[in-house]
Amino acid sequence: MITIRRCGDELAAILPIVNAAAEAYRGVIPPDCWHDPYMALAELRQEIAEGVEFWGAEIAGKLVGVMGLQPMREVDLIRHAYVLPSHQRHGIGAALIQHLRGQSTRRILVGTWAAASWAIDFYRRHGFELVPAEDKARLLRTYWSVPARQIETSVVLCGPAPA
């Protein structure tokens, strides 16, 4: 059974999930956008300091997936959605995104790498739609703090209107 809960100060549990799942990007995203490790501890701390609230999925008391929600002006951003590779395709990401959508009363945006077709497909299966290419850069500049190269190589998806 999957249990969704707010993550506290569990950086030592969150970081290995992010970096293990992000291995899927290696060789897929542009090499100049890849970092090893994908996320450093200092970056995770900074994300939390900037308002990313992580939610975790547990199975039998073990944290196996995380997804962040960050209020940003008039929208909420899904940030850092990762599931341990050994637990992918078992409904964990779906449970997390459903939970986060229930936490938000605002429009939800998510950015991901354009080459990460599996991530784009995941969000689309959950009602998100790609924003037009002409709006992507404006949204990424408005709501995220990412380098120009990442803006070039990313997409933005918009969730369905809140219920």
Token pair of 152 as six digits: 């070039």
Q: Is residue 13 helix, strand or coil?
A: helix
Please check whether residue 110 is in contact with residue 156, taking contact to mean a CB–CB distance below 8 angstroms.
yes
Tell me: the pLDDT tens digits for 118-141? 999 999 999 999 999 999 999 999
* Rounded-to-integer distance, Cα 100 and Cα 94, Å: 10
* Rounded-to-integer distance, Cα 66 and Cα 64, Å: 7
For 61, which DSSP code? T
Q: What are phi and psi of 104, to 5 degrees?
A: -105, 145
Examine the pLDDT at 159 and tell me if it is beyond 90.
yes
Please check whether residue 162 is in contact with residue 105, taking contact to mean a CB–CB distance below 8 angstroms.
yes
Please check whether residue 129 is in contact with residue 95, taking contact to mean a CB–CB distance below 8 angstroms.
no
- Residue 156, class by beta-carbon neighbours within 10 Å (0-12 exposed, 13-18 middle, 19+ buried)? buried
Q: What is the pLDDT of residue 163?
A: 66
Q: Quickly state the pLDDT bin for 9 (edges 50, 70, 90).
A: confident
Examine the pLDDT at 162 and tell me if it is beyond 90.
no
* Rounded-to-integer distance, Cα 33 and Cα 11, Å: 23
- Full set of structural domains in the chain with CATH: 2-158 (3.40.630.30)
Q: Which amino acid is at 96?
A: L
Mean of pLDDT over the chain: 96
Q: Quickly state the pLDDT bin for 55 (edges 50, 70, 90).
A: very high
pTM: predicted TM-score of the whole model, two decimal places: 0.94
Examine the pLDDT at 60 and tell me if it is beyond 90.
yes
Closest by alpha carbon to 152, among 127, 121, 115, 122?
Answer: 115
Q: What is the pLDDT of residue 143?
A: 97
Judge if the upstream peptide bond of residue 37 is cis by omega within 30 degrees of 0: yes
Q: Is residue 120 helix, strand or coil?
A: helix
Give the residue-averaged pLDDT of 141-153: 94
